[in-house]
Amino acid sequence: MRIGFARFAAAVVAFLFAVVHVAGATGVGSQPLAVQSASLTQDGQQLVWRLQMSQPFSPGALAHDGRTLCLLVERADNGAVTGQLCLAGPRKGQRVPQVLYASVVSGVSGRAHAIDATIARGSDQELTASFLPSDIGGAYKPLGWQVLSTLGPPACTAPATGIPPSGACQIVFPARPALLKLHTPKLVGCVASGSKWVFNGPAKVRDIALTFDDGPWVQTPQFLDVLERYHVPATFFQIGEWISVYGQHGRLERRMLRDGDMIGDHTWTHPDYTGTGPYERMQVLRAADAIRAATGFYPCLFRAPYGNTSPAQLAQIRSLGMTTIQWDIDPRDWALPGVAEIENNVLANARDGAIVEMHDGGGPRQETIDALPTMITTLRKRGYRFVTITQMLGYRMIYK
């Protein structure tokens, strides 16, 4: 088990010798950087790698000084190294360090590439990197990990020795692999922020959001079929009383969340109101409770029936932890104007940050279903990215 690890660590040092021999690094210490503490944990969807070193360090200076500082990802059952995440300096013109990932097969490292990690530093001896398991070719299943700190020639000339392979040129922390037991994160909520009344997203980002009101309905599964086929996320504003009738015991709502869709509150019975009394509050809370009962997720988005709002209502909705979402593109699909009219309306009015209001419930919706493929393919050709409202507004998602 550990022989493969030793061979891999020795290969890292050999690689360093080649790099440093060419670069001619000088004036560095004779020991690898010492790890004071390290951890790898799960926080919602993210893996969080925390490092506390015994001395100050700069990710940008590691390669120049003939050093590496890497997180080794290992199989939970036998300790074989399957990948490595190594710290590196910022891209040209940027200031944030990078995390480079390379898969490892039979002790041989593949080509490294930068992953979309979030880097934070509390001091010059600390670093925290957050990333998704998919960034390292993994899923939410147990894995082993260790930190490998190396120093290459000419500063260090001793060969890699020992099992575990700690020596003059390399330090492994902890000495034996630590086990991280991952679980598939469950979305349980989101945090409303910013404006309490939203008509569109950022005007300088080529995103567009498709939203659907008045479901779930008998045709909602057909909407999901189309969205899944084209890999498009959407936001569904649901009427609470229909969830037990058409939601297939919550299966439709759970399917939405699995697909990456978002669910919003559209009241319990879809009344036309702008007040803030006990009845109106009940309409919102009862629908939100129905969504949570079906999925475990509590919404942070609200859409008023018929789009009717008032200042007092907007304030009340925010006090309930939600943002009221309007729209700036309305193809009036509820009036059944025809497939071509729905398509043309959306395509003619598309703009960066647009929110499109359509319907998956409240009546026959085949025209809307049939209009979706042309709308999606045309907008994609124009460079638009489809996002949910929470993605468009940058809301924080809550997982457990």
For residue 59, give the DSSP letter: G
Sheet harboring 118-120: ordered strands across?
Answer: 35-43, 46-53, 126-131, 118-120
For residue 35, the tally of other CB atoms under 10 A from its CB is 19
Assess whether 359 carries a catalytic annotation. Answer: yes
Distance (Å, whole) CA 108 – CA 241? 57
Q: Which of 214, 266, 359, 360 is catalytic?
A: 359
Identify the three-state secondary structure at position 300: coil
Q: Which of 65, 135, 213, 265 is catalytic?
A: 213
Identify the three-state secondary structure at position 125: coil
The encoded tokens of residue 49 equal 């790698």
- Listed in sequence order, the residues at least 6 apart from 162 whose beta carbon sits closer than 8 Å to its beta carbon are 6
Distances (CA, A) of 388 to 42, 63, 144, 211, 400: 24, 40, 34, 8, 21
Identify the three-state secondary structure at position 13: helix
Residue 360: left if φ>0, alpha if ψ -120 to 50, beta else—which one? Answer: alpha
Distance (Å, whole) CA 240 – CA 283? 9
Identify the three-state secondary structure at position 327: coil
Whether the CA torsion 326, 329, 332, 338 is positive or negative: it is negative
> Are 49 and 87 in contact, with CB atoms under 8 Å apart?
no
Distance (Å, whole) CA 338 – CA 291? 32
Closest-CA residue to 99 (of 48, 143, 138, 65): 48
Assess whether 124 carries a catalytic annotation. Answer: no
Distance (Å, whole) CA 342 – CA 368? 7
Distance (Å, whole) CA 310 – CA 277? 13
Identify the three-state secondary structure at position 76: coil
> Are 389 and 301 in contact, with CB atoms under 8 Å apart?
yes
Distance (Å, whole) CA 312 – CA 8? 64
Give catalytic residue positions: 213, 359
